[in-house]
Each structure stands twice: as C-alpha cells, then as structure tokens.
Structure 1
Amino acid sequence: MPTLSTERLTRATSLLRLAESKVRILRSIAWSPEVKERFFADGARELPRVSYPSFDAAPVHAQLAEARALIDFEPVIDAWLGRTADAIATSADLLASVEKPAFLEYGARLYGLPTTPHAGGSPIELARTFDRVFAEVSHVDLGAPPAACHLADAVAVRMREACDTLFGTDAPEVLVVDHLSANALAGPRRVQIRRDACFTDRDVEQLVQHEAYVHVCTSLNGGHQDAVPILGASHAGTTRTQEGLAVFAEFITGTLDPDRTRRLADRVLAIQMAIEGADFLQVYRYYRERAASESQAFESTRRVFRGGVLTGGAPFTKDSVYLDGFLRVSDFLRSVVSLGRTDGLQLLFCGKLDVDDIPALARLAELGLCRPPLYLPPWASDHRYLVTFLAYTSFLSSLPPSDHHASDTAMLAHVPVLRGFGRNERGPRAAADDGSDPD
C-alpha cells in the first residue's frame, strides 16, 4: 500500500475543487425573469421559451484526469475521491446535455429518481404517503396561527441574528435581492433572500435551520479543512446528504410543518409525472390545483423542468433528494445513536460530504488530516433530545407490525368524527373559523 502523502492528497483534492468550480449547475440552468413574464403574457397556454448557455465539458474532464492521476492512497480514501471525481464529471455531462433526453440519465446518476429504492422506502413512496395522510387530515384544525406574511427584510434580520450568534466573525453577509431562483439561497460568504417572497412564521425558522445552521455551517467547516479542500465544495455528489441533513434539521427542531412537507412531496410527485411524459403545462396545471397562486405554481413547475425537456420525459430530478436524503440521514443518525457513535455526528458536519464518505473521512481524521467541525447547530451540539428521539424511533423500526393498529383502525371506524372539537375559540386558532386561514 502506498504511503499517504499529505501534499499529494491536498493537491489531488485541490484539483477536484478546481474542476468543480467550473460546474455551476443551478446557475447554468436558471431561468431569467422574462421567461415567467412571457408565459403569463401568453395566457399560460404555451410552453415557456427558455435558452441556456452552451457548456463544454472537455476542460472539466481534463482537470479531473489530472486529479485522478494522483489518487493512489488507501482503498477507502481512493474510493471516496473516485466517487467525487465521477460526480463532478457527471455534473459536467449534465450541463452539456440540457434540453436533451440524456439530461435525465445524468440527473438520475447524480440525484437518483423518485423510484430509486432505499432501505426505508423510495422517495415516491414517502411522497405518496405524505400526500395521502395530509389529504386525510385536511379537515383537521392543526392549530396554525392566522396567515401572516413576514417580509424579506424582517427575515433578513432574524437570519443575521442567527448567523452572528453561531458563526461570530465567520458569519456570512445576509442580503435581500431582487431576483433569485428560490426564496433563499445560502453559501459560506452570503445568504440571499428574495425581496418579493412572503414567509410564514414557520418559514422563517425553517430557513434558519436549513440554510444557516446546515448549509452555511457545513460550508464554513469544510472551508477550514486545509488538507482536504474538496470538503468546502458543494458538488452534486454531496447534494443528497446536504439537503437531507437540512430537512432533518427542520424536522428535529419542530419547524417542519405540513405545508413545507407537502411541498417537498409534491416536488417528487411532479418529477415522476414529468418522467412519465407530462409536459410543462400539465405539471403547471397540477400545481395550480395545489398552489396558493399562479406565480407559485409556475415557480414549482420551473424547478422540475429547468434544464430539461419541456415536452416531458427528461426533467431535472434534483428535488427528489430532499426526501431521499431525509430518509438516508435519518437512518444514519439512528445507527449513530444505537451504536453510541456520536463521532459519526461530528464527521457529518466536517464539510460538504455524502454519508457514504464517512469511512474515508474517519480515516483522514485518524491521520490528523480531517479536522473536527468548528460549528454545530444547537440540535447537534446538545444531544439530549436527539438521542432520546432517535433511540425511540430505532426501537419502533425494530418492531414487527402491531395488531394494535388494526384494532385501533376498526375502533375509530365506528367513532363519529368531531369536526372542530377542542378548538380554542378565545385563542389564535379561532381565526381558522372566520375564513382568514388559507386552509
């Protein structure tokens, strides 16, 4: 086995990061605001007219070849670096195939498909379960406060406070911008919030947990990994775990609500519709039945078709990773707790990585080449609730199907539904009865 050279490792991972820096998927397939304006000016009856910049994958592949020539360390490290190089190469090929059927093939390699099997079930199965359950409880008053719109400037104040508290002098700049493909976007140097976006009370804290306490956190931690620079790069090979970890953060902190969860499920269902041949207009009409506005329906449909084939068959599958990654990260953290391996939680925040990279990073940490994370979100640094919750869910997952569910179902089938029972007419829930609540 060759001796592990720190200099060669740093050189190889620096080359991987240099290659990755040439591949900006979301930026390259973003739609200009004019696309949306034309779509509605035409009465929302014609496919959008979109153009993308051309992309030459050859320079990226050449850079990767130079990096691959240096990869000869230990099997577990070589496997990780090889997967990273493959993900960057596939990302380049994805951009070179926009608006072509091959776009789906490369996207599936990077992000999977809604039907990709997982030990805990596929994303499409989880999405359909969420969709069914939320439809069944749609008549239930869940106790949400009256509809509210927190404007971008107010959200920015909360985001700055959260970033300053956790990151101190490393805190990113928080900006309110006019044009953004999402409501918010976070990186190690800046967090951007779209000026015309409207946020609910839960949205605000979701953004803090998701964008600041995961995406910014892992970016900053990765940026401090001097011996392994690739850990500071958000390449597509890390997307599943990074988005899954961010959704898990929402979940474990109690900020993941039915509206947000249903949006994540709808993304998976819409991607599957497009894979099966639905075009942009068909998916837009699907969203129009569910979204609060035409604008929101358009934005949700745009996420599915950006870079892909507007007539159907080859969508952008990235949004499958939110539920897929949520399943994977949840499984991993249950294993961490059941085995008493809290070092695994520390490794998960060392930078931009995939769960499958943990063995390689553990080896590098053993050699002193991967540093512990500088920053951890509150839920990950205070393990009390996390361990309790995951220990309980680990126990539940080990149980065989219970007879109680069948007997409870039979019992409740004969119990009358008490609609409105228990509502607090004096408290904030009373607003649900006066028509002001969107549900």
Structure 2
Amino acid sequence: MTRTHHRDRDRPAVYPEWLEEILGCIRADKPVRKDFEHGGRLHIDRPLPFLSLFLIRGRQDIAARDVAAANASYLIANNLEEALPIVAAVGGVLKERFGAFMLLDVDELEHDTLLTDDSPYLPPFEIRIAATGEPAAEEAETALAEGVDIRQVKFRTPHVERFALETDFQATALARKTGFSLVAVRFAPIYRQPESGKIYPDLRERLIANIFDAGLRAFAAFVAATQTLKITTHRALGRKAFVDAVSRADRSIDEVAASFDFLLAVTPINADAAWQEFKAGNFKRAPRFLYRPLSVQVEVEKRKLFSVAFDRFEDPVLYHLYREKQQELDLQLSLITARETSRFVEYSRALYGPVEATLHRSAAEILAKTAKAAHDGDDGEAGNEIADCRDVEIAARAMIVSYQRQYEGFTAEIELRDDLPPGLLVSDGRLLISRTTRVPASRVDALLSHEIGVHLLTYFNGSAQGLRLFRSGLAGYEGMQEGLAVFSEYMAGGMTIARLRLVAARVVACAAMLEGRPFAETYDMLVGEHGFGPATAFNVALRLYRGGGLAKDAIYLRGLMELLDHLKAGGALDPFWMGKISASHFRVMQELSLRGLLKMPVIRPAFLVHPHAQARLDKARAGMTPLDMVTS
C-alpha cells in the first residue's frame, strides 16, 4: 500500500487520495472498511473517540489480532511505518470531532512463561498493561486492569502487572509520534501449547472474548473521563453493523436449519390408528408408530453445517451464538437419524436435558394439589362447548388478520392436516392444525395466543431482524419459548386447572420415560395415579415416546418457571418478542439491541392488551408459582 511518513506538525497534512477518501467518510458519518496488503485492514463502523490497533509483523493466527478486530473501530497494520500515518490522520479527525482520542495497542507476549507442557498445576497467566500519563488514559488503564482481573479463562486467573511505557518500543513510538492518549495491553499466549505451539481453540475464543470485554471497559472509562459520549454500558461501544462474513454464515446456517422439520420428522403420522391399536390390546402393548420418510440427507447437511466459516466474524458475541446453533443443529440431525433406535432417547436427553428434581417436585405438587379437580377427557371442563378444527381455523385466520394490520410481513399460513395427533403445531411460518383437534371453545383464544401470539409472532419478528438466526431460533430457545407460550395462555385468561395439570403431567411422564419405563406403564401411571382420561393419557405418552423417546415436553413447565423467576426479579418481556431466544440469551439480546444490531419488535402480542393482562402481569412480577395461575 501507499505509505506516508509522519508529518512535520507545523505543516498542513498531505495524505494520499485513498486516505483522504477515508477521512471524508469519517467526517460524513459513513462506515469505513479498507483492506491493505498482507492482511491489513482499517474498519470503522461509526465515528468513535478511539481506535484499537494490532501490528502483524509477519505473524499468523495471533489472538491479539482478533481482539483488536472485534472492536467497532480498529486498524490492523503490518508494521509501525504503515500504521503511523493512518493512526495520525484518522485519530486527528476523530479528536477534532470529539475533543479527545485514545489508542488501544493490543499485542501478545512472546511466551506463556508461567506454564510448561508438564506443569502439574495451572498457574496464573501474565497480562501487562501501560498507559500514557493523561488522567483519562490512566482511568482507562485502571478499568482495563479491573476488567481482566475479574475474569477467569478456563481455570487460569490473570496476573495483571503494570509496566513502564518507555520499555515497549511499539507503544512508545505510537504515543510519541501521534501525541494521542494510549493504553497498551500485552497478554500471554495461553491458548498455545508451550512446546508444540498447537492451539486450544476453545481457550483461544474465551481469551479473545475476555480481553475484548476488558478493552471495551477501558474505552468506556476514557469516554466517561473525557465526557465525549454518554453511554449506559460499556457494551454499547461495540459494533452497530455486522460484516459480510456474518451474513454469509447466517444464510448457510439457515439453509441447513430449513432443510428439515425436526418436530414433523419425529411426530407419528398414524396417531388415531395407534390409539385404536392400543385400545384393542387392552392398553397393555405399546402401539406401533409410523413416521414420514426423512426428506433430508443428513450426511450432506452435516458437511454443509461444518463447512460454515465463523473465523471472520470479528464479533465474539455473534461468533458464540452461531457456534451454539451449529452444535444444536448437529445434535438435531443426529437425533432424527437415530429415530426408532435406542440411541434416540440419549440424543434427546442431550438436547433437552434431564428432568431436574426441583422440576419434578413442582410438577408432582401441581398434580397432587389439583387432584380433586381432575377431569376425564381431553383438555377441557365438563359441559363446555367444544370447538373442532374448523372452528379453530376460523379463529386463527381472524387473529392472523389482526396481526397483519400491525405488520404486513406477518404472512402466516394455515394448514389442516390428517397426519398429526390432535392439537396445533407451528412449523416456521405455518400453523398446522390436526383435523382431529377438539378443544373447549373457551380455550381457543388462549390456545391461539400460545401458537400465533408467541411462536408465529417471534418467527416474524425474528424475520424482521437483519439475521435469519433470530427467526429459526438461538440454541436452546425452545424452553423459554414454550414458557412464554404457556404464560400467554394465562395472560389471555385461558389458563385452566386441566391445562396446568396437562403441563405438569408431561414432566412426570417425561421423567418416567427417561428412567426407562415402558409406554404402557407410563400410561397406567397417568390414568391410575393422576386421574387422567384414557385419550389424554395416551396423547401425553405418544408425545413422549415418539421417535424412541423425546424429552421435549418437560420444557413447558421448566420454561414457565424460568419466566416467572425472571419476572419476579424485575426482568422485562420485550426482548423476548424480538425473536426466538432462550433465558440465557437475555443479556445478549439487550446488548445487541443497545448496539443497534437488533430492532425493537415490529409486533407485540395481542394478549398484552387483554383487559386483565396488566393485573395478571403485576401478579407475576410480585411473585407467583404456576399453581397461583389457577388458584389465586
């Protein structure tokens, strides 16, 4: 690339044309992404009073490069000669705009001196920091030290040590020749094996994420000390735009996710015939379930899945989200391949987890305390008017139209199906209604609030985000999604004792299935011990034993309890409407929203404006159990 030498400060600057164009973009608030020879790059997604810097110096696969590149504003240069004119020019424009400017110089120590291959224990690892003498730079240095000092990276704690800036040639040259405030950080390459140089990938990513976060804390301290920006959290200084590599990976991951319908693949197509077979056998022999032929070539999709490149994301948060999703899709593909084998239930346990003791106790308590109110038959109350599949379809179309008035992109479709057990199922943007569905008319609005007001709403809100991941769902989203969906039934005024008992029954039956109890024994438990009618007990057992043992149904009560805890702790609901997310992603969604990478929901659930919704939400925030939904 063209190089310029550091100018005499008394003469006006003369920059090459490409650099003048960059400065023009910065002045006009336009993003900058300029590649240089040998892997260099200047990236500025918006003007900020700082720049992160890494000098390549002929090295490859250095974690410090990725730490620098994770920032919203960074320069990767080959050497000092290349970096200095760019830093001086860009920093000058930004300092003129903000009144202050800081450089974060990121690099690695040559060796992890405290560890050897045969070390019998894991010692601390070195992080060395220094700063120029201005008060704001010293504030940033302190924030950086505190930020890394509270972090533990795979069982090794950082040992932070300050060093004199003049002992580091690179940092000294940058500070003296630009005149900008500077903080330097040098960390031990703990992600490499000391002798062989081989890399620990997971440790490398943890280290990058932790040093990056500490760097953001340093920038936040600097802007606070100089009063250049007003921010609510250091994470707000992260990127407000994702790079093309993220968009490409997002499309590739979505193509794999769309290549198969997980729930349809493991749901029997002969539910009614299986029920008749089970009755004919006097409820003693497990029926034979039939399934749709798999329409996906699992090996092909797995190859596609693991060919997706995440190494150019330049964003540790998004990197982590996509790696999680990749692993979940791999597990789902393995699960459907193992359909009707003994391996299926173990994959299922890995995907959805076991039934925890506290969850089992809560479910058992619900069943015990509502035993007197138990009713035979499907989810209903004796004497209620019954709605069939056509009634549900008409009500569903009306609800979809009401959401389309809010957002024309709410293009949900409805299908009546002969190949599903009684009930409703959402598949991407479609609502599937079994023709054998029969529910109390008083429950229809609550049922549709569950399927349309949560599952379809988050699908289309997720579609409105810049990334498809938020419509297909972040890894592990189903638990909170089903918890929200059950809560929506309560908010819509349709939570009944029968419905809550059904949710609890799924948990105790799931525990029985995971313990290895056969289909007929679990059915007998539901009928004999808990008072469920034959058809209801059969449908609960069918859902749990489908495919070979699917542990999904425990997530409804688990997710509801997680949501109630979240609300009691003062948590908000709005981030959950942005897309399909789990409770563990709540803070991530808040951060991405603060950074401008996510939009607020384009549609909000209709049940939130139900006449009694606010009073019900207030009760939940005050603290309630699932039982309180039907007893208070």
CA contact (8 A) 1:112 1:317 kept: yes
Superimposed CA distance per residue, residues 403-430 of structure 1 (whole angstroms, 9 cap, x where no aligned partner) = xxxxxxxxxxxxxxxxxxxxxxxxxxxx
> Could you say if the C-alpha distance between residues 133 and 59 of structure 1 is closer, same or farther in structure 2, counting changes exceeding 3 Å?
same
Residue aligning to 2:30: none
Hey, what does 2:558 align to over in structure 1?
324
1:90 pairs with 331, 344, 348, which one?
A: 331
Pick from 272, 279, 296 the counterpart of residue 511 of structure 2: 272
Instruction: Kindly provide the amino acid, as one letter, of the partner of residue 323 in structure 2.
Output: G
Letter in 2 for 1:252: M
Question: Which region of structure 1 is more displaced relative to structure 2, 69-78 or 327-336?
Answer: 69-78
Please give the per-residue CA displacement for 1:239-280, whole angstroms capped at 9, x wherever unaligned: 111111101111233311110010111111111112222111
Give the conservation status (yes or no) of the 8 Å contact 1:242–1:325: yes
| Secondary structure at 1:199 match in 2 | strand
SS in structure 2 of the partner of residue 193 of structure 1 = strand
Equivalent pair of 1:94/1:106 in contact (CA under 8 Å): yes
Q: Who is 1:437 aligned against?
A: none
- Indicate how the Cα distance of structure 1 residues 235 and 367 shifts in structure 2: closer, same or farther if over 3 A, else same: closer
1:371 lines up with 2:607 in the alignment:
no
- 1:179 aligned partner: 419
Q: CA deviation at 1:30?
A: 1.8
Query: Corresponding residue for 2:589?
Result: 361
- Note if contact 1:61-1:89 (Cα within 8 Å) is conserved in structure 2: yes
Aligned length: 374
Alpha-carbon deviations, 1:99-142, whole Å to 9, x = none? 33332332122212222x6xxxx321211110111025669xxx
Asked whether 1:303 is paired with 2:528, we answer no
Any conservation in 2 of the 1:110–1:236 contact (CA below 8 Å)? no
Match of 2:525 among 257, 274, 286: 286
1:203 to 434, 443, 450: 443
Deviations 1:290-332 (A, max 9, x none): 6765443332211110011xxxxxx210000001111112222
Tell me the TM-score normalized by structure 2.
0.54
1:399 corresponds to = none
> Is the 2:481–2:582 Cα contact (8 Å) retained in structure 1?
yes
Contact conserved, 1:178 with 1:194, CA < 8 A, in 2? yes
396, 403, 411: which one aligns with 1:159: 396
Query: Deviation of residue 39 (structure 1)?
Result: 3.8
Q: Which amino acid aligns with 1:253?
A: A
Query: In the alignment, what sits opposite 2:574?
Result: 346
Is 1:128 aligned with 2:356? Answer: no
Q: Which moved further from structure 2: 382-391 or 256-265?
A: 382-391
On the 8 A contact 1:350/1:373 being kept in 2, the answer is yes
Paired AA for residue 194 in structure 1 = S
Residue 111 of structure 1 pairs with residue 348 of structure 2: no
Matched, 1:222 2:462: yes
Counterparts of 1:174 and 1:291, CA distance in 2: 34
Choose between structure 1 and 2: higher strand proportion: 2
- The CA deviation string for residues 187-206 of structure 1, in whole angstroms up to 9 with x for no partner, is 45432322232211342122
1:145–1:43 distance in 2 versus 1, CA, 3 Å? closer
Matches within 5 A, 1:240-279: 240-279=479-518
Indicate how the Cα distance of structure 1 residues 94 and 74 shifts in structure 2: closer, same or farther if over 3 A, else same. same
Alignment of 1:54-93 (within 5 A): 57-70=298-311, 72-93=313-334
Q: Distance in 2 between matches of 1:380 and 1:109?
A: 34
Secondary structure, counterpart of 2:268 in structure 1: coil
Q: CA deviation at 1:47?
A: 2.6
How far apart are 1:184 and its partner, in Å? 1.1
Quick one: structure 1 residues 135 and 203, their matched pair in 2 at CA, closer, same or farther if it must change by over 3 Å? same
Cα pair 1:306 1:316 within 8 Å, conserved = yes
Offset of 1:145 from its aligned partner?
7.3
Gaps of 5+ in 2: 1-66, 71-238, 376-380, 626-632
CA distance in 2, matches of 1:188, 1:17: 12
Are residues 1:392 and 2:622 paired? yes
SS at structure 1 position matched to 2:371: helix
For 1:185, what is the secondary structure of its paired residue? Answer: strand
Structure index of larger Rg: 2
Aligned partner letter, 1:229: R
* Counterpart Cα distance in 1 of 2:351 and 2:609: 31
- Mapped contact 1:131–1:262 kept (Cα < 8 A): yes
Contact 1:241 1:354 in 2 (8 A): yes
Gap runs ≥5 in structure 1 = 309-314, 397-439
User: 1:51: how far off?
Assistant: 5.0
**Does the 8 Å CA contact 1:13/1:229 hold for their aligned counterparts?**
yes
Counterpart residue identity of residue 556, structure 2: Y
| Matched position secondary structure for 2:623 | helix
For 2:225, the equivalent position in structure 1 comes to none
Identity %: 23
Using a 3 Å threshold, how does the CA distance of structure 1 residues 177 and 28 change in structure 2: closer, same or farther?
closer
Q: Are 1:182 and 1:194, in contact at CA under 8 Å, matched by a contact in 2?
A: yes
Contact persistence 1:223–1:229 (CA under 8 A): yes
**Amino acid in structure 1 at the alignment position of 2:391:** A
Distance in 1 separating the partners of 2:575 and 2:565 = 15
User: Do 1:31 and 1:306's aligned partners in 2 also have CA atoms closer than 8 Å?
Assistant: yes
How far has the Cα of 1:42 moved from its partner? 4.5
State the one-letter code of the partner of 1:318: K
* TM-aligned CA distance change 1:207 to 1:101, over 3 Å: same
Q: Residue 434 of structure 1 corresponds to which residue in structure 2? A: none
Deviations 1:361-404 (A, max 9, x none): 3333233221211111134468843652234218x9xxxxxxxx
Q: How many angstroms apart in 2 are the aligned matches of 1:370 and 1:335? A: 24
Query: TM-score with structure 1 length normalisation?
Result: 0.76
Match of 1:410 in 2: none
Structure 1 residue 234: deviation in Å?
Answer: 4.6
* Distance across 2 between alignment mates of 1:99 and 1:82: 28
Higher relative contact order (CA 8 A, sep 6+): 1
Per the TM alignment, residue 41 of structure 1 is displaced from its structure 2 partner at its CA by 4.5
Cα distance in structure 1, aligned partners of 2:330 and 2:460: 25
Q: Is the CA contact (8 Å cut-off) linking 2:321 and 2:475 kept in structure 1?
A: no
